[in-house]
């Protein structure tokens, strides 16, 4: 059961609401969209390219400069431009009927077909030049896209489980609430005990940089340090300290939830920071490739 | 016995006082008899400092006494002066206990034994006589009081006010005064505050918002115990601390006393009023009834009537009531020419819902209504049009188009449009005039008031809508006549959420039709209640019992606070016997349901976990209020990547404000119900919108048309917290300038910071914003279209919980 919703409920939609409007009736993820329509189309396209490559005898030898190579190259270049247009479609809220899910589905599968289209376009002639640079960038974009699809497919459930109906704001608010209680509870503590608690209060829950964000490890975490320090401490007001320790461990748990949340979100987003800039690099390289091709031939 | 006075006025409220002042001005021999030792006891008993309102504003005051909006003390002070200045002859401590004799020679006896002779009597004793009592166990306990003389008497107590008419609201606000430190709760049996003045309602809402009192709608007392009160709420019973109960459940005319004089009432109901002529004369010649007792509770009306009635008694037949000109305008465009009172009589005799309405009430309702002449074939409204007003046929008849080319007539005297009134849904069929006709259109607010104030009208409306509902449900050539007995014995039952209506295994043959709300059907399988089906408003259940005579085979309980119509098994059986086709059709429906139940049971044996998941998901969905939804946004958290593109899409297609909060809301088995409008079957938000701008559109969407005044009532009334009060941000630069040059805040709702910077000191007005289901956007809901992964879907509960879902899950 890939998703909770059956595809069958859709047929009933119309009758029940008596609406003529176009609606998203099917409930299926972008990968399964329309019963894998774009996977099939893209697979067919790849098959066509591979078999025709084998069958057609291009002289003197297959490469980008042959009529066959031009055809594949044109298709590939147009495809790349169209794939890039997803970024625009995603944000342009026009009022007509379109589905970003359908777009994403086509994007993913047609994007993958570029592995075949692009590579076969080269006629397997790779070297250290601007042409191969374009190909390599394309492969990198595709690879990063592949990573994206994998995290899109696997992480959402984890994100949902971790947040447990809390919103990010509420997680932050929970931490602030513990901070307020800690502030009051720490009053009776000795100065040595107070210092680590104050450090925990001063800590910015978002601090730690991208590495900590992605790994979920925060070695310099002041709350954990305060917990360690207070559990080792003796003397002073033991009751008050116990109370503070209790609060610190609650805060630690709340921090852990927030950090897990931020980590999963970062993993769901970070690849786009590779995918999109590389796309622009690709388009630049592609332009250079096309211009140089027209200069030399 | 002294000489007879020309007129004896009983009761010195605004009505009686104004009558006495007119009599004094006219130099008539008169006496004003008052039970207490001061004038106008009802207003005297108002809370100290109460601001008395002078509604309706459009009505001119016609009296020898002064009256304008002001503090209780000012008004009473003025009246004492006015009574003295006009030379009114008042007898205090003169409670009238008996009236005998006839016109010209009445004999009036007071409690103290005095006897007064009078030619005419004006009865203006108001309705305070006997307050309605609670109707639950413990109703006679001494800590239940019927009025609050002085809120200061209550300090630091738990106080529950029952009833949310004006009196209840004002008492609650009085004792909820912050300095008194009381914990105040006000209960309202229904959702609407249709009986109360808009200003009181908004004051109360504001106090509720500020935490001074808690407002509980659809809640009523169930058991009174010293110190405690058990409430029946839409979510089940609840016991709260309660030291004092203030019962403000309205009052009935001191009817026994009035009837003992021989005066007839409009109907048998507790809330009926005396039958009156247009000159306020009762069925006993010489006895005139005015004011609240006549069905006219507003002070201004009372005072005008006091003036008018004495003029009438004095032989002034040319006098027209103060609202005459407004009413005349309403009838002006009709082809026939009649006087206002002839028109009113015409409507009352020809339209069933107006039959029990007194001429005076009729005037009031007409002021909120329209009367129009329709040529034969002219369309009154089209199918699918939004609209919640009620139409009555005064002349001619209407044709309902039940299918293209097929019409059914609605006869003169009947009504149409009641579905819109009751459910707020779009018009279900096109209606045309069947011949040249006159239809009365009563606004939703006036119609609700009519139903609240005139039980007879309420009965007729309920009956007609039940008949029509049954005709729709039970196919097979059924006619209204076949339904007579079924409908006669039908009873409307309110069911709070979670309450069981039919219990599996029990014997019973009553059939139920869901009038509002929704039900879930469950069956005990392997010791666990398994969800079988969701029944939306308009469906029926319990019919298996009547057909087979076997015990109930499933449990049916309310998903949300609901109303069901209970039809007795006996009458239902007779109806089926008379109409074999109906029986056959019903049996076919039963067979289909039975097959579905059997299917789920069989699945439970082989795919237990799938059935359990289906069942638990159903319970979750119901708990989230989707039982009353018609279309709700759900998010499959197996797919949602948290990009918030749904919110951005919503904002960018709606004045820059998102109408959904994706992250907030409850989740079960990765199924998330975000904070977003459910487009409720009976929208709570519509209950109290002063400019009446919340409507239901053709696709079932609940939306606000322009004109919101920003009062926030809808926001407070929506139980799902989906309405927010927000000002539209200024327009942003286009998408390309953002993509290419980084201009503007980018897609989605701009940050408050950006908006503030852009606006400077300008403070735009905040109005209510909520999801309108992307009404008018050709592509449909933007949130769903813009979700890259397909996580966001919009569904109605019946589709979502359809059996197909289980089939799919179980494979
Ligand atoms: C809490 C509350 C707030 C309200 N606020 C407003 C408002 O803001 N604006 C508004 O327009 N209306 C308001 N009303 C309604 C309005 O006060 C009454 O409808 C109006 O007072 C009715 O006037 P009346 O003259 O018909 O009768 P009443 O004012 O009730 O007067 C009847 C009088 O008759 C006397 N009486 C009764 N029986 C006998 C008897 N057998 N013999 C002799 N005397 C008798 C009574 O003692 C009393 O003085 C409010 C009502 C209540 C309860
Ligand atoms: C050369 C080929 C490709 C190009 C030029 C390209 C370009 C882009 C661009 C411009 C975006 C928009 C990002 C944004 O605005 O947020 C995008 C998104 C995306 N791409 Fe690609 N892409 C390519 C191939 C692929 C492949 C092969 C895959 C998957 C295997 C893929 C998966 C995705 C996904 C999942 C998204 C995110 C969709 C969303 O969240 O809205 N891409 N891509
Ligand atoms: S658009 Fe879809 S994936 Fe993005 S946050 Fe909304 S529901 Fe989740
Ligand atoms: S705003 Fe609230 S009450 Fe109104 S229809 Fe939507 S969910 Fe229901
Ligand atoms: S249906 Fe339209 S208005 Fe409603 S939440 Fe979705 S985008 Fe917003």
Same domain, B634 and B778: yes
**Contact (Cβ atoms closer than 8 angstroms) between residue A144 and residue A278:** yes
DSSP string, B666-720: EEETTEEEEE-----SS-GGGGG-TT--EEE-TTS-EEE-S------HHHHH-TT
Residue B614 lies in a domain: no
Say if B800 falls within a structural domain: yes
Supply the mean pLDDT for chain B.
85
pLDDT at A68: 87
> Given this model, what pLDDT does residue A4 score?
35
Are B437 and B510 in a shared domain? no
- Are B554 and B627 part of one and the same domain? no
Residue carrying the six token digits 């489980």:
A161
pLDDT score for A23 = 40
Same domain for B231 and B183, yes or no, is yes
Residues of A in contact with B671 (CB under 8 A): 4
For the Cβ of B393 lying below 6 angstroms from any atom of ligand 3, the answer is: no
C-alpha to C-alpha distance for A286 and A292, rounded to whole angstroms: 10
**Same-domain pairing of B731 and B751:** yes
Is B739 in contact with A94 (Cβ distance < 8 A)? no
Look at residue B136 and tell me if it is in a domain: no
Asked if residue B470 is part of any domain, the answer here is no
Q: Percent of chain A having pLDDT more than 90?
A: 51
Q: Provide the chain A residues 193-252 that lie in CB contact (below 8 A) with chain B.
A: none
The CATH number for B509's domain is 2.60.120.10
Residue ranges making up the domain that contains B163: 144-251
B797 CA to centre of ligand 4 in angstroms: 15
For residue range B277-304, list pLDDT tens digits in order. 878 999 999 999 999 888 777 888 899 9
Helix (H, G, I), strand (E, B), or coil: what is residue B130?
Answer: strand
Residues of B in Cβ contact (< 8 Å) with A95:
653, 777-779
Same-domain pairing of B406 and B346: yes
* pLDDT computed for residue B788 by the predictor: 95
pLDDT interval class at A19 (50, 70, 90): very low
* Structural domain contains residue B615: no
* Ligand 5 atom 2 nearest Cα: B774
- Between CA A148 and CA A159 the distance in angstroms is 15
> CB pairs under 8 A, 24+ apart, for B73-78?
B73/B48, B73/B49, B75/B43, B76/B38, B76/B39, B76/B40, B76/B43, B76/B44
> Both B296 and B342 in a single domain?
no
The 10s digit of each residue's pLDDT in B740-780 is 888 889 899 998 888 888 888 777 778 899 999 998 898 88
| Least confident residue range of B82-86, B226-230, B273-277 | B273-277
Same domain, B641 and B784: yes
Residues B332 and B447 in one domain: yes
Domain end among B209, B233, B251: B251
CATH of residue B245's domain is 3.50.50.60
| pLDDT tens figures, B217-260 | 888 899 999 989 999 888 888 899 999 999 988 766 578 889 99
- CB of A90 within 8 Å of a chain B CB? The answer is yes
Domain count, chain B: 5
Ligand having the closest approach to the CA of A147: 2
Look up the pTM and report it: 0.65
Say whether both B329 and B243 belong to one domain. no
In our burial notation (b when 16+ CB lie closer than 10 A, e otherwise), range B245-276 reads bbbbbbbbbbbebbeebebebbbeeebbbbbb
In a domain, B53, yes or no: yes
What does the block give as tokens for B155? 């300090």
CA B699 to centroid of ligand 5, rounded, Å: 13
Contact A135, A118 (CB under 8 A): yes
For residues B241 and B284, membership in a common domain is answered with no
Q: B642 in contact with A at a CB cutoff of 8 Å? A: yes
Q: According to the model, what pLDDT value does residue B292 have? A: 86
Task: Specify if B64 maps to a domain.
Answer: yes
Q: Judge if B635 and B651 occupy the same domain.
A: yes
Interchain contact A165–B (C-beta under 8 A)? yes
Q: Which of B231, B251, B271 is the last residue of a domain?
A: B251
Among the bound ligands, name the one nearest to the CA of residue B641. 3
User: For residue B687, is pLDDT > 80?
Assistant: no
Mutation to test the A interface, candidates B629, B634, B701, B785, most A Cβ within 10 Å: B785
User: Of B229, B251, B273, which marks where a domain is finished?
Assistant: B251
Phi and psi angles of residue B704, each rounded to the nearest 5 degrees, phi first = -110, 130
Q: Is B567 a pocket residue for ligand 4 (Cβ < 6 Å)?
A: no
Across the range B604-625, mean pLDDT stands at: 79
């Amino acid at each position: 059961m890939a998703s909770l919703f059956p595809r069958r409920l859709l047929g009933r939609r119309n009758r029940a609401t008596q609406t003529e409007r176009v609606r998203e009736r099917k409930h299926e993820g972008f990968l399964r969209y329309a019963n894998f329509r774009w996977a099939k189309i893209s697979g067919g396209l790849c098959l066509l390219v591979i078999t025709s490559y084998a069958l057609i005898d291009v002289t003197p030898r297959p490469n980008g400069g042959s009529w066959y190579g031009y055809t594949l190259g044109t298709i590939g270049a147009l495809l790349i431009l169209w794939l890039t247009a997803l970024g625009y479609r995603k944000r342009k809220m026009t009022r007509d009927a379109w589905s970003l899910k359908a777009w994403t589905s086509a994007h993913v599968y047609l994007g993958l077909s570029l592995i075949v289209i692009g590579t076969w376009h080269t006629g397997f002639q790779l070297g250290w030049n601007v042409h191969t640079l374009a190909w390599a960038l394309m492969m990198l974009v595709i690879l990063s896209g592949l990573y994206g699809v994998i995290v899109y497919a696997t992480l959402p459930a984890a994100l949902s489980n971790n947040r447990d109906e809390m919103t990010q704001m509420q997680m932050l608010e929970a931490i602030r609430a513990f901070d307020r209680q800690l502030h009051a509870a720490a009053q009776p503590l000795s100065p040595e005990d107070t210092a680590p608690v104050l450090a925990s209060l001063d800590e910015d829950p978002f601090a730690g940089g991208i590495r900590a964000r992605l790994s979920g490890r925060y070695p310099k975490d002041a709350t954990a340090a305060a917990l360690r320090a207070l559990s080792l401490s003796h003397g002073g007001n033991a009751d008050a300290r116990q109370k503070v320790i209790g609060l610190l461990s609650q805060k630690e748990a709340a921090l852990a939830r927030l950090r897990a949340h931020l980590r999963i979100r970062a993993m769901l987003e970070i690849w786009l920071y590779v995918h999109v800039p590389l796309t622009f690099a690709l388009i630049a390289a592609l332009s250079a490739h096309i211009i140089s091709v027209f200069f030399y031939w | 016995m002294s000489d007879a006075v020309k007129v004896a006025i009983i009761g010195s409220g605004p009505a009686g006082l104004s009558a006495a002042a007119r009599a004094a001005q006219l130099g008539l021999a008169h006496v004003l008899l008052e039970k207490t030792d001061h004038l106008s006891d009802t207003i005297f008993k108002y809370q100290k400092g109460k601001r008395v309102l002078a509604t309706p504003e459009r009505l001119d005051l016609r009296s020898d006494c002064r009256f304008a909006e002001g503090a209780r003390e000012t008004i009473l002070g003025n009246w004492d002066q006015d009574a003295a200045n006009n030379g009114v002859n008042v007898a205090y401590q003169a409670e009238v206990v008996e009236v005998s004799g006839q016109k010209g020679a009445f004999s009036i006896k007071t409690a103290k034994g005095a006897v007064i002779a009078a030619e005419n009597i004006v009865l203006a004793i108001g309705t305070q006589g006997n307050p309605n009592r609670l109707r639950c166990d413990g109703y006679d306990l001494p800590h239940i009081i019927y009025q609050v003389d002085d809120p200061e008497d209550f300090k630091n107590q738990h106080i529950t006010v029952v009833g949310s008419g004006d009196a209840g609201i004002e008492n609650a606000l009085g004792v909820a005064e912050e300095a008194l430190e009381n914990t105040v709760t006000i209960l309202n049996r229904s959702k609407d505050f249709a009986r109360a003045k808009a200003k009181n309602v908004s004051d109360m809402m504001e106090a509720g918002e500020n935490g001074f009192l808690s407002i509980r709608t659809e809640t009523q007392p169930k058991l009174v115990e010293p110190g405690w009160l058990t409430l029946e709420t839409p979510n089940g019973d609840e016991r709260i601390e309660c030291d004092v109960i203030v019962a403000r459940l309205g009052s009935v005319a001191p009817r026994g006393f009035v009837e003992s004089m021989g005066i007839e009432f409009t109907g048998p109901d507790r809330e009926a009023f005396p039958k009156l002529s247009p000159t306020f004369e009762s069925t006993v010649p010489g006895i005139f009834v005015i004011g609240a007792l006549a069905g006219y509770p507003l002070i201004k009306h009372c005072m005008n009537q006091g003036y008018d009635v004495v003029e009438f008694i004095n032989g002034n037949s040319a006098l027209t009531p103060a609202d005459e000109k407004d009413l005349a305008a309403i009838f002006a465009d009709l082809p026939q020419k009649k006087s206002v009172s002839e028109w009113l009589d015409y409507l009352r005799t020809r339209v069933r819902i107006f039959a029990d309405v007194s001429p005076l009430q009729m005037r009031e309702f007409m002021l909120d209504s329209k009367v129009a002449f329709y040529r034969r074939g002219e369309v009154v409204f089209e199918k699918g049009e939004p609209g919640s007003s009620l139409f009555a046929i005064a002349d001619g008849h209407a044709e309902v188009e039940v299918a293209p080319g097929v019409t059914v007539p609605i006869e003169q005297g009947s009504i149409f449009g009641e579905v819109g009134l009751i459910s707020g849904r779009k018009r279900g069929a096109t209606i045309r005039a069947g011949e040249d006709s006159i239809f009365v259109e009563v606004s939703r607010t006036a119609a609700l008031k009519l139903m609240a104030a005139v039980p007879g009208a309420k009965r007729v409306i309920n009956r007609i809508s039940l008949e029509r509902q049954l005709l729709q449900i039970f196919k097979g050539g059924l006619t209204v006549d076949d339904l007579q007995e079924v409908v006669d014995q039908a009873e409307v039952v309110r069911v709070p959420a979670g309450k069981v209506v039919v219990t599996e295994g029990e014997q019973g043959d009553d059939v139920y039709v869901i009038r509002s709300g929704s039900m879930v059907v469950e069956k005990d399988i392997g010791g666990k209640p398994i969800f079988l089906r969701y029944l939306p408003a308009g469906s029926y259940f319990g019919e298996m019992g009547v057909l087979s005579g076997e015990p109930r085979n499933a449990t049916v309980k309310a998903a949300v606070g609901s109303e069901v119509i209970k039809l007795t098994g006996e009458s239902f059986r007779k109806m089926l016997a008379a109409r074999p086709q109906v029986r056959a059709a019903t049996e076919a429906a039963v067979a289909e349901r039975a097959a579905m139940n059997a299917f789920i049971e069989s699945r439970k044996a082989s795919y237990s976990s799938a059935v359990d998941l289906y069942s638990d998901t159903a319970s979750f969905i119901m708990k989230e209020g989707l039982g009353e939804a018609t279309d709700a946004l759900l998010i499959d958290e197996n797919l949602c990547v948290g990009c918030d593109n749904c919110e951005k899409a919503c904002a960018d297609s709606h004045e820059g404000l998102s109408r959904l909060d994706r992250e907030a809301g409850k989740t079960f088995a990765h199924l998330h119900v975000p904070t977003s409008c459910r487009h409720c079957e009976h929208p709570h938000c519509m209950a109290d919108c002063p400019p009446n701008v919340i409507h239901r559109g053709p696709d079932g969407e609940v939306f606000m048309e322009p004109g919101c005044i920003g009062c926030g009532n809808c926001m407070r009334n929506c139980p799902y917290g989906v309405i927010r009060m927000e000002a539209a941000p200024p327009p942003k630069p286009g998408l390309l300038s953002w993509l290419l040059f980084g201009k503007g805040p980018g897609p989605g709702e701009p940050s408050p910071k950006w908006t503030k910077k852009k606006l400077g000191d300008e403070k735009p007005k905040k109005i209510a914003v909520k999801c309108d289901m992307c009404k008018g956007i050709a592509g449909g809901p933007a949130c769903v279209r813009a979700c890259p992964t397909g996580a966001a879907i919009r569904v109605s509960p019946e589709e979502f919980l359809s059996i197909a879902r289980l089939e799919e899950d179980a494979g």
